[in-house]
Amino acid sequence: MSIEIRNIRKQFGQFTALDNVSLDIAAGELLALLGPSGCGKTTLLRIIAGLEKPDAGQVLFGGADATHTHVAERQVGFVFQHYALFRHMTVFDNVAFGLSVKPRRERPSQEEIRERVMKLLKMVQLDWLADAYPGQLSGGQRQRIALARSLAVEPKVLLLDEPFGALDAKVRKDLRRWLRELHNDMHITSVFVTHDQEEALEVSDRVVVMDHGHIEQVGRPDDIYEHPATPFVTQFLGDVNLFHGRVDAGQLTIGSYEQALGQHQDADGDAAVAYVRPHDLDLTLQAAGALAQGRVEHIHAVGPVVRVELQQADGQTIEAAVSKERFRALGIVPGDTVYVTPRKLAVFLQEDAGQQDYVI
Amino acid sequence: MSNILNLRHSVLPGFRLSFGITLFWLALIVLLPFAALVYSTVGMGWDGFAAAVGSPRVIAAIRLSFFTAGLSALINLVFGFLVAWVLVRYPFPGKRLVDALVDLPFALPTAVAGIALTTLYAPNGWIGQYLAPLGIKVSFTPLGIIVALTFIGLPFVVRTVQPVLEDLEKELEEAATCLGASRWDIFRRVIFPATLPSLITGGTMAFARATGEYGSVIFIAGNIPMVSEIAPLIIVSKLDQFDQQGATAVALVMLGISFVFLLLINLIQWWAARRHGAR
Amino acid sequence: MATLTTESRPVRYALTAVALVFLFLFLLLPLIGVFWEALHKGWQLYLAALVEPEALSAIRLTLIAAGIAVPLNLVFGVAAAWAIARFDFRGKSLLTTLIDLPFAVSPVVAGLMFILLFGANTVVGGWLQDHGLQVIFAVPGIVLATVFVTFPFVARELIPLMQSQGADEEQAAIVLGASGWQTFRKVTLPNIKWGLLYGVILTNARAMGEFGAVSVVSGHIRGETNTIPLHVEILYNEYNFVGAFACASLLALLALVTLLVKSLVEWRLHRQQQASTLRTAAARLQAQAAQP
């Protein structure tokens, strides 16, 4: 079922959690809401679920207005960050809960409930734990039971709040892949909230990046990573180096470095910031055509990529990531002066980066 | 000493001193009197014990004590839960004052509570005057004992249930709501089972306290033999007649029955805790 | 508060009303009754009941008993909490249970135990009496019974408090070179002072108000071995209601002060906790902001 979110606003006292947010979610899609804590992503998820009422705006399920539909009637599955399993019930009773509270007319028979619960437990590969209590399970197992419980009522929409947030790194990776596969099998419209960009980019069909109660960018993971729409998205998606300069009629100037951009054609000597990811910076020993220069401070040579930290004359640091081969060819040691050239950069005029106070 | 105690090493000093003071004071104030009780029990002999406890008046008193204590504990389970629920969940003016008031039975000396309740529930008292025309007599009847014991036991239930209700995660109720459960379903199947262990604990504490209660009861009970005479009063009146052996025998029976109750309830708690795993 | 996880308004109002009516009838009305009965015949009678010699003697004895029991149990409570909350040793849970024992015993049985120990016809009691010390039906017995019933209060307040605070701060102090006593005075005491105050207040309230245990060992000798609660009983049984309730009102006032201090202490502890959560939250925010 598709979900449409129209002009949603939500205030908590003085704090604006959501400021006029609109978003379309296609049926069968797996969507990630990504952002730092306090950006409004969880509030948006809870409003979709009906756990929170928006101050203004509408939520449409399959084209029909569901803004005032009670949670219990929305047919959403919600998976909580800390699982919210009923600890006095067995795993089986937890999963069966949604079926057993249905009004008598709609309630399946005992055998039918048993069959459906066991099928779900098999699906999450925990049928052997049916008689255990939540307290006896590991974090990853609890999370899978929470998921099975939410699926038992055959929801039209599955909502997950930081589903892997409370798990350790290894389990987290396994569960991510598993969730992706599960979604491929079931094709239920799913939305999950995360503050981990790697998780969002890896698992979802589309990513919604949020900050300060509004949507910064919506797009496919590779799209967002390659073409971040705002400085915030650029910085949030990974490590990045900042270079300050000017743009005049599509021509970028940073110190003596110049480059023609395919954008900002109408800029008129505006201050601009160029963002370059460490692996998009090449190191050279030639000054000609270099973006900047610096003294090598640290070299981290563990793994396939060598990370080199440079210090510029003004004290700013630059981080570059080069391949082992390239590093060997350069033969640099701490204390050397090297030059950097960008392979790819994202340039934003200063007015776009307005909220952040950069020192030029 | 630290060898016998298997003391784990710590950089903090003062174990010998603090442990010494603790043990000395415990031995003097608590263990010695208990030893005296055990000593005189051993010297009593079965016949003396049976004669002291077997009389119909004593049996009636012990029965009355446990019956009224049980009933008042049940009343407190219902109203104590309700009070805790309202204090945790619903906003109302003067809440902090009401919250503080709940501890009154802990702080108010029992004799004061006793004479105050007796006066309130006497046929011409503030409450008694409305009950008398209905034919309900409270003061000087077993009903009065239940009123006094309910007063004494209330904070035990409220104060054990209240923190559990406060710590109950909101997500549990939200999860149940998402799964289509009604408020009543949620209360019955999620909230109530989660608070049940604390209810049992609080109810047990109220019950245990009520079986031994003396000060607040003797005024309102009227102390009519076979009707409204409680077991602690039997102990006192035997002591007044210098029948220490008889008093000891009754005390032992009281302690024994209380012990069995406590053991049972601890077993239930232990079983429940084990079932529900580590958390 | 989210409307989702609560009841409909009528249900809420009805439940609140039932709870409040119950509390009014069972708790507030008796309290009001005490003061009304004490004062409704006028101030003069009230004051006269308080300054008559037997009342004064009862007040004096109550103050003596509490004055001895409270400091002793304070020292004991702090020592027990230090040993139990700061060290790991075999038999710790047994020790904790034994400390709680006086709570589990009927006050009447507590009094009985002291009679069995110190009564005139027992070995210990007889020996003490031969040497000129009468315990039962005298002041020492009253003090002993009071100490017994108030035995666990301070330890009970402090042990969970100190356990939840952990020993990190004290260990840090020792590592920094503080002596044991300095550590206790400068680190432990400031951390537990509110809990300690509440424990003392509770001990005091119970010490001054104890009836059953003291009643058994006192012998009810007017003007000599009567505490305020015992005096209240005598006056009440003589149908001197104004006198009984006047003395009772003193104890009720004490109860009100106890409740007040308790609320205050809880408020302080709550604020302490809130301040520390705020500090950690602020630190976390700063750490986040510091990241590029």
* pLDDT tens per residue across span C81-110: 999 999 988 888 889 888 988 888 899 999
For residue range C186-225, list pLDDT tens digits in order.
Answer: 889 988 988 899 899 999 999 999 999 999 998 877 778 8
Positive or negative torsion for Cα A331, A337, A342, A347: positive
How many domains, chain B? 1
A77: closest CA among A127, A177, A25, A152? A152
Distance, in Å, from the CA atom of B119 to the CA atom of C36, rounded to the nearest integer, reads 11
- Asked whether residue A360 is domain-assigned, the answer is no
Question: What integer pLDDT is reported at residue C292 of this predicted model?
Answer: 39
Task: Say yes or no: A255 and A334 in one domain.
Answer: yes
State the average pLDDT for chain A. Answer: 88
Judged by a CB distance cut-off of 8 A, whether residue B110 touches chain C is yes
- A205, A234, A263 - which closes a domain: A234
What whole-number distance in Å separates Cα of residue B233 and Cα of residue B249?
Answer: 13
Q: A238-297: per-residue pLDDT in tens? A: 889 888 888 888 888 888 888 888 788 877 888 888 899 998 988 888 888 888 888 999
Q: CB–CB of C82 and B103 under 8 A?
A: no
Say if the Cβ atoms of B177 and A71 lie within 8 Å: yes
Angle between helices A169-186 and A139-151 (to 10 degrees): 20
What is the average pLDDT across A96-102?
91
Q: What is the mean pLDDT of residues A134-159?
A: 91
Q: State how far the Cα of A306 lies from the Cα of B276, in Å rounded to an integer.
A: 50
**A36 vs C contacts (CB less than 8 Å):** 288
Residues A80 and A59 in one domain: yes
C291 interfaces chain A, CB cutoff of 8 Å: no
Considering the domain architecture, whether residues A201 and A307 belong to the same structural domain is answered as no
Torsion region of A25: left, alpha or beta (phi above 0 gives left; psi -120 to 50 gives alpha): beta
Please report the number of interchain residue pairs, chain A to chain B, with beta-carbon separation below 8 angstroms. Answer: 81
Which subunits have 3 or more CB–CB pairs within 8 Å of chain A?
A: B, C
Partner-chain residue, chosen from A51, A235, A239, that has the shortest CB–CB distance to C4: A51
In a domain, B49, yes or no: no
pLDDT, residue C268, reads 83
Q: Which of A195, A216, A234 is the last residue of a domain?
A: A234
In a domain, A358, yes or no: no
Q: Is A239 on the interface with C (CB under 8 A)?
A: yes
Q: Which residue has the tokens 């209660």?
A: B213
B268 domain-assigned: no
**Same domain (yes/no): A100, A51:** yes
Give the structural domain span for A77. Answer: 3-234
Domains of chain C, residue spans: 41-272
Structural contact between residues B111 and C229, judged by C-beta atoms closer than 8 angstroms: yes
CA angle, C35 as apex, C31 and C40 as ends, to 5°? 140
Whether A279 and A202 share a structural domain: no
Q: Measure the CA–CA gap between C34 and B104, rounded to whole angstroms.
A: 13
Query: Among all chains, which residue has been given the structure tokens 């052997």?
Result: A128
Provide the Cα torsion A190, A196, A199, A201; round to 10°. 90
Chain B CB contacts of C91 under 8 Å are 5
SS3 state at B207: helix
Q: Is the pLDDT reported for residue C279 higher than 90?
A: no
How many Å lie between the alpha carbon of B191 and the closest alpha carbon of chain A? Answer: 9
Chain B: residue whose CA lies nearest to C227: B111
Percent of chain A beyond pLDDT 90? 38
Residue with tokens 């219990």: A72
- Are A127 and A158 a contacting pair, CB within 8 Å? no
pLDDT by position in tens, chain B (length 279): 556 777 877 878 889 999 999 999 999 999 999 888 888 888 778 888 888 888 899 999 999 999 999 999 999 999 999 999 999 999 999 999 999 999 999 999 999 999 999 999 998 889 989 998 888 888 889 999 999 999 999 999 999 999 999 988 888 999 999 898 888 999 999 999 989 989 998 999 899 999 999 999 999 988 888 888 999 999 999 988 888 888 999 999 988 888 888 788 778 778 877 766 544
pTM of the model: 0.85
Its sign, for the CA torsion A245, A249, A250, A256, is negative
**A278: nearest Cα among A227, A326, A238:** A238
Instruction: Summarize chain B as % helix, strand, coil (round to 5).
Output: 75, 0, 25
CATH number of the domain where residue B132 is located: 1.10.3720.10
Q: Which residues of C touch B238 (CB under 8 A)?
A: none
CATH number at A22 reads 3.40.50.300
Do A260 and A305 share a domain, yes or no?
yes
Q: C195: helix, coil or strand? A: helix
Q: pLDDT tens for residues A170-222?
A: 888 888 888 888 888 888 999 999 998 888 998 999 999 999 998 999 999 99
Strand pairing class (A3-12; A15-25): antiparallel
A95 and A209 inside one domain = yes
Contact A80 B193 (CB under 8 A): no
Euclidean distance between CA atoms C195 and C292, whole angstroms = 44
CB B128 within 8 A of CB B121: yes
**Please, which chains are in contact with B (at least 3 CB pairs closer than 8 A)?**
A, C
Residue position matching structure tokens 């589990």:
C104
Domain presence at residue A359: no
Is the model more confident about C71 or about C93? C71
Range of the domain at B153: 55-230
Is B157 part of any domain?
A: yes
What is the number of alpha carbons within 13 Å of residue B180 lying toward its C-beta? Answer: 24
Inform me whether the C-beta atom of residue C288 falls under 8 Å from chain A C-beta atoms. yes
Based on DSSP, count helices (H) and strands (E) in chain C, helices before strands: 15, 0
User: Same structural domain for residues A287 and A200?
Assistant: no
Q: Which chain B residues are Cβ-neighbours of A150 within 8 angstroms? A: 178-179
Choose among A71, A87, A152: nearest Cβ to B276: A87
Report CB contact under 8 Å: B25, C72.
yes
Distance, CA of B197 to CA of B161 (rounded, Å): 9
Q: Is B104 on the interface with C (CB under 8 A)?
A: yes
What is the model's pLDDT at position A164?
A: 84
**Residue B245 domain flag:** no
What is the complex's ipTM, to 2 decimals?
A: 0.89
Residue A229 belongs to some domain of the structure:
yes
A219, A269: one domain: no
| Residue A58 domain flag | yes
What is residue C126's predicted lDDT score, i.e. its pLDDT? 85
| DSSP-assigned letters across all residues of B119-186 | HHHSTTSTTHHHHGGGT---TTSHHHHHHHHHHHHHHHHHHHHHHHHHHS-HHHHHHHHHTT--HHHH
Q: What is the mean pLDDT of chain C?
A: 87
**What is the number of structural domains in chain A?**
2
Nearest Cα to Cα of residue C153 among C87, C94, C209, C218:
C209
The CATH number given to C41-272 is 1.10.3720.10
Task: Encode pLDDT of A66-93 as tens digits.
Answer: 988 888 888 899 999 888 999 888 999 9
Torsional class of A23: left (φ above 0), alpha (ψ -120 to 50), beta (otherwise): beta
Interchain CB contact of B277 with A (< 8 Å)? yes
Q: CA–CA distance from A215 to each of A39, A219, A354, C83 (Å)?
A: 9, 11, 17, 57
Q: What is the mean pLDDT of residues C37-42?
A: 90
Q: How far apart are CA B248 and CA C119, in angstroms?
A: 13
